[in-house]
Structure 1
Amino acid sequence: MTIQRPRGTRDFLPQDMARRRHLEDQLRKVVGRWGYQEVVTPTFEDLELFTMKSGEAVVGELYNFTDKGGREMTLRPELTAPVMRMFVNEMQALPRPLKLFYFENCFRYERPQKGRFREFWQFGVELIGSEGPDADAEVIALANTMLGVAGIQGDLHVGYLGIIRHVLQPLESEQQGKIMRLVDKKDDKGLDDFLEEVNAPIDMRMKLLRLISLTGGEAISKARDLLGPIPEIDAFQQVLTLLDAYGVGYTIDFGIARGLDYYTGMVFEIYAKGLGAQKQVCGGGSYKLIQLFGGGDIPSTGFGLGFDRIMEIYDIEPVLQKTIVIITTESTRITAIPVATKLREYVPVYLDIMNRTFKAQLSYANNIGARYALILGDREVAQGLFTFKDMESGTQESLTLNEIILRLTGESN
């Protein structure tokens, strides 16, 4: 019987992993240069960590289970809540702001489709302890830079939930949350029905529907005309001014709501071409979650990159190290081992472990795309030289081991 991989998961072959690791390395370099440090949280957490954040309805989307001690646990569906839990448990005394990043796998029990899997990878950033336009702008600019190194020209949309919340002040917090989710889903009919259901004031309805339709360069001035001189619009304008200083292109979009109650001010989403309906590759904003998990009233700003979606359109091929295959005879196999050990300090080296013939070893070098073959026969051992063959050009020459190392290190510089 052949056992298949679980639905919604993938196997990554060596060529797949080379591309994924290459992108991962590029993203790590960017966040490191911006001063962010890596954290890792457990693969599974207490189920309550996520129901506190997203409500009991989220359980249907989780890989939850009861452990042998009778505790309700779940594989993590995302990483913001675990990082906030970690901050409350272990990091509250550290100097602020804390600049953290993570790259881990997450799990959600949902219908697999293009760009959506039950096991997926998230690269994310959390800036904890700084509130205001400077933190908001830095996080957006960082996300934009990370997508840039991936070769993706994203369409960045920026909104400000504080302005929508100002309009919704007459309603209860639960009603506001429901409205945010309907706005996030672009469910115009559902929004109209719910506003009617809660008997929302006519003036408030008009302002809300008009506000969430505002996009583009005149959106700020139109919002001022609609709502008057409120501080939330001034705060949003400061974020945009800083984004201009960063040189980040954006579209103002008051229809972005992110659909989660804990977002407080700035929100943003980035879309990429070539992904069809599932085109969002990044989303985030400013929020307050730490208090929910037992910490203080501490602001945070962050985002998550959809690593798997980015990989679907990532077309930068990694530059692989030049590999060497050492070709031996039966009498020189032992002599080749210390040679291979020395060369492995510099490049990948393949040494025959299949007892292949001389001809079969050379054929193997061709089949795996080796850049060089180092031929070590009885004559080479006697002379203290190696036949160094360029597999692309077919040329070969006799070199000492040190000369080969200099050749390889010179090419890699």
Structure 2
Amino acid sequence: MEFNKPRGTRDFLFEDMEERKYVENTIRSVVENYGFKEIKTPIFEDLELFTTKSGEGIKEEIYHFQDKGGRDLALRPELTASVSRLYNNNLQKAAKPLKMYYFGSCFRYERPQAGRFRQFWQFGIEVIGGTPVYNEAEIIAMANEALTKVGIKNYEVAIGHLGIIKGVLNHLNVNPEDTTRIIASIDKEDYELLEKILDECSISQEYKEIINKIISVNGTRSDLESLKDVVKDIEDSYEAVCQLSETLEVIEAFGFEDYNVKLSIARGLDYYTGIVFEIYVPDLGAEKQITGGGTYNLTALFDSEEVESTGFAFGFDRIMEAYHRQNIETPTSDSQKVLVVPVKKDFKIDAIKVAQTLRANNIITDIDLKGKKLKKNLSYANNNNINNVIMIGQSEVEENNVTLKDMDSGEQVTISLSEAIEKLSN
């Protein structure tokens, strides 16, 4: 019987994993350089964790099941809820801010298509507590630095603030259900639906124009400043404009200025309370968004104190798709790699001892124990980016030496193992 991988999943071969590890480690290096520490959460959680956050409708989109004890569980569809649960269980009394990151697979039961899989990976960042303005600026600047170091080109960083539009709706006493509908229509850029809902809510033409002016802002920091006159009589909205302006000033202090102020970003989720941002790679077409996030209050959903958090998650698979579409080359590792070759089967034990000594000195070492011809071993080394070959034969064993061949230069020398280790280590 032949088995195939489940629909919506993928196998990653050697070259795939080299690329994915390089991108993952590059992002890790950047976020750890900003003082973030890694956490891990279970791949499955109580189903109620996700229905509490996203509503009962989420069941149609996720893998959920009962275990042998009758407990309702689900494979995690994303990681934000799990991080909030981890905080509630373990870190409520920890000093703030808490700066953490995570990397792991998530699962959604949806129709597989280009850029969408049933198993996918997220690389996420969370800051719990602290000062939102500085948290927001830091993580946006950090996201930009991570993408730059990975080598992604021509991406766009769009920044908005949900408090501006919500301030208007609060000012007009729009009820929470209609506020959610309005925000969702803006998020989907369905402006016909938006007009219909505003009419249903009896929003006057004056305030319709204010709302349209807000969501039409799509430009620079000066475009944001010009909005102050529009919302000057709406206290919450005016305050949100000022907060966003302050955040942009701090972002620029981090050395990042190539952003776009886009106030139609709504993220479509009720728990966002302030800054929201998204990053797009137009080369990816319809699936161009590679990350989204902002400031929110999710911990309150789980019967704990209200603590504002700021975070985002990279769609790791979409970053990899951009990596391939933009033909980015993974840098060649400068680590020395060695293939140990016993020239006859009589010297396999000696070759094993040499290989183990090299490995004990943190030198990446492969060994031929099959007994291939020397020519085939040299070809194997070339094809697998192994830059050194050590040959063990009669004379090497008798004289306690090794013959070291540099595959790049072709230079070959017979020296002691300790000299070879020194040469390879340098």
Q: TM-score range by the shorter chain?
A: over 0.9
Q: Give a deviation string over 1:353-397, Cα, whole Å, max 9, x none.
A: 224345544444344343222111112222222221222343322
Structure 1 position 348 matched with structure 2 position 349? no
Asked if structure 2 preserves the Cα contact closer than 8 Å seen for 1:157 and 1:252, the reply is yes
Match of 2:350 in 1: 335
Deviation at 1:33, TM superposition (A): 1.6
- Stretches of 4+ aligned residues off by more than 4 angstroms: 357-360
Question: Which residue in the other structure is 1:161 paired with?
Answer: 162
| Alignment map for 1:287-326 (pairs within 5 Å) | 287-314=296-323, 315-320=328-333, 321-326=335-340
Summarize the Cα distance change of 1:174–1:130 in structure 2 as closer, same or farther, 3 Å threshold. Answer: farther
Paired residue secondary structure (1:209): helix
Q: Secondary structure at the match of 2:158?
A: strand
Equivalent in the alignment of 2:393: 377
What do residues 285-339 of structure 1 show as CA deviations (whole Å, max 9, x unaligned)?
0001111111112111111111111112332414333322222112211111111
Which residue is 1:395 aligned to? 411
Per-residue deviation, 1:6: 0.9
Pairing partner for 1:228 from 228, 232, 236: 232
**How far apart are the structure 2 equivalents of 1:311 and 1:195?**
40
Alpha-carbon shift at residue 255 of structure 1 (Å) = 0.6
What does the per-residue CA deviation read over 1:229-270, in whole Å, with 9 as the maximum and x for residues that have no partner? 622211111111111211212111111101100000100111
Structure 1: gaps (5+ residues): none
Gaps (5+ residues) in structure 2?
none
What SS does structure 2 have at the residue aligned with 1:171?
A: coil
Q: Summarize the Cα distance change of 1:121–1:332 in structure 2 as closer, same or farther, 3 Å threshold.
A: same
Query: Which SS does the other structure have where 2:126 is aligned?
Result: strand
Structure-2 residue corresponding to 1:174:
177
Structure 1 residue 346 displacement after superposition: 2.9
CA contact (8 A) 1:137 1:242 kept: yes
Structure-2 separation of matches of 1:377 and 1:61: 62
Query: Normalised by the size of structure 2, how large is the TM-score?
Result: 0.92
Instruction: Write the letter of the residue equivalent to 2:330.
Output: E
Tell whether 2:223 aligns with 1:241.
no
Q: In the alignment, which of 259, 263, 266 is matched to residue 254 of structure 1? A: 263
AA in 1 matched with 2:183:
M
Deviation at 1:102, TM superposition (A): 0.5
CA drift at 1:166: 0.6
**1:214, CA displacement in angstroms?**
1.2
Residue of structure 2 in register with 1:51 after alignment: 51
User: Aligned residue for 2:42?
Assistant: 42
Q: Distance in 1 between matches of 2:69 and 2:37?
A: 34
Superposed, 1:123-142 pairs within 5 Å as 123-142=123-142
3-state secondary structure, aligned to 1:57: helix
Cα distance in 1 for partners of 2:36, 2:377 equals 47
Q: Quote the residue 2:11 is aligned against.
A: 11
Does the 8 A contact of 1:156 with 1:268 survive in 2?
yes
Instruction: State the alpha-carbon separation in 2 of the partners of residues 325 and 199 from structure 1.
Output: 76
Give the Å deviation of 1:195.
2.0
Alignment-mate amino acid for residue 366 of structure 2:
Y
CA distance in 1, matches of 2:119, 2:127: 25
CA distance in 1, matches of 2:384, 2:301: 54
* 2: CA distance, partners of 1:100 / 1:366: 41
- Seq. identity, %: 43
User: CA 1:131/1:52 → structure 2, altered by over 3 Å: closer, same or farther?
Assistant: farther
By how many angstroms is 1:399 displaced? 1.6
**Secondary structure of the corresponding residue to residue 422 of structure 2:** helix
TM-score w.r.t. length of structure 1 = 0.95
Q: 2: distance between equivalents of 1:200 and 1:57?
A: 30
Q: Distance in 1 between matches of 2:245 and 2:354?
A: 64
Equivalents in 1 of 2:48, 2:94: separation in Å?
A: 26
2:306 counterpart of 1:286: no
Equivalent residue number for residue 271 of structure 1: 280
> d(CA) in 1 for partners of 2:413 and 2:40?
50
Q: Could you say what secondary structure the match of 2:240 adopts?
A: helix
What corresponds to 2:201 in structure 1? 198
Distance 1:187 1:274 in 2: 23
Q: CA separation in 1, counterparts of 2:190 and 2:182?
A: 10
Q: Structure 2: how far apart are the matches of 1:181 and 1:48?
A: 23
Quote the RMSD (CA, aligned, Å). Answer: 1.7
